[in-house]
Amino acid sequence: MKTKNSIIAIAKETIVTESDAIANLLNFIDDSFENSVKFIHNSKGRVIVTGIGKSAIIANKIVATLNSTGTPAIFMHAADAIHGDLGNVQKDDVLICISNSGNTPEIKVLVPLIKNYGNKIIALTGNPDSFLGKEADFILNSHVEKEACPNNLAPTSSTTAQLVLGDALAICLLNLNDFSSRDFAKYHPGGSLGKKLYLRVSDLVEKNEKPMVYPNSSVKDVIIEISEKRLGATAVIENNKIVGIITDGDIRRMLNKTDNFSKLTASDIMSKNPKTININAMAVDTLETMEAHNISQILVHDKDIYVGVVHIHDLIKEGIF
């Protein structure tokens, strides 16, 4: 049985081995890599990524990354390709074939068929001198000195290297395509990631009540307004413009200071010049402002006209926080 220290040592050795393998990829980013990127960028078709075994799993991830960063791609399993899935391949498509050895039986059958179709092949392989390497039009060299597996058998360093080269390819294409955060949001509309890129303050404030009192409002009216609107605060407005804010905390501090508040008004207990945000601002910017000033609510304005309140709970509910 492995001791705790030996387990930690093995884990660290695995990480070091794989990180060394990734660092060594810098030596393989050459003209062939550049030409591969340029060819895909100028192609009118899609990128079809294929492989078998662990390489097929990596191929799926590369496809997902390409699609999410603006380069249309599909996955085609190398074994299924020779049993009907070659029908996926269209005239202008570019094939990326992933195989560490470059000599698997499925690849040896598939590559000549692709070449007969007239499509260009990019080999992502650890063995440029292999069948795949020699038959391909471009080579992405993913060679690693050794696997992290102590028997040098289980695909570990090699699949990590494949994945990293796939990421490098995708990010180069992203830059060539001038793929912006707006484009990214278009492909990622769901979940917190997409919401950070498209959700605006206007989407949040319209769902909330609009608590407000006036400078001469009584403390009782202030407490009722905060309680009824359930946002933990109310704006103090004059001529439709924000002149202050009163929070639950302000009410508590007032009660600690005085026993007789019957003659106090909103202007006596409000915080002047409160933090505000424009209705067209991004929700994520709202979060940054609230975190920077350690506040739970922020007042929203539209051309200096008060329109409502956004609470930290609104951001939590949307998955922004």
> Cβ-count burial of 83 within 10 angstroms (0-12 exposed, 13-18 middle, 19+ buried)?
exposed
- Placement of tokens 């049985």 in the chain: 1
The angle, 0 to 180 degrees and rounded to 10, between the axes of the packed helices 219-229 and 248-257 is: 150
**Structural contact between residues 301 and 235, judged by C-beta atoms closer than 8 angstroms:** no
Distance CA 183, CA 81 (A): 32
H helix count then E strand count, the chain: 15, 12
Contact 167, 245 (CB under 8 A): no
Q: How many CB atoms lie within 10 A of CB 58?
A: 26
The span from the CA of 62 to the CA of 73, in Å, is 9
Residue 190 amino acid letter = G
In sequence order, the 6+-apart residues with CB closer than 8 A to the CB of 316 are none
Question: What is the signed CA dihedral for 209, 274, 305, 266, rounded to 10 degrees?
Answer: 70
Q: Which residues are annotated as a binding site?
A: 77
Q: Which residues are annotated as a binding site for Zn(2+)?
A: 77
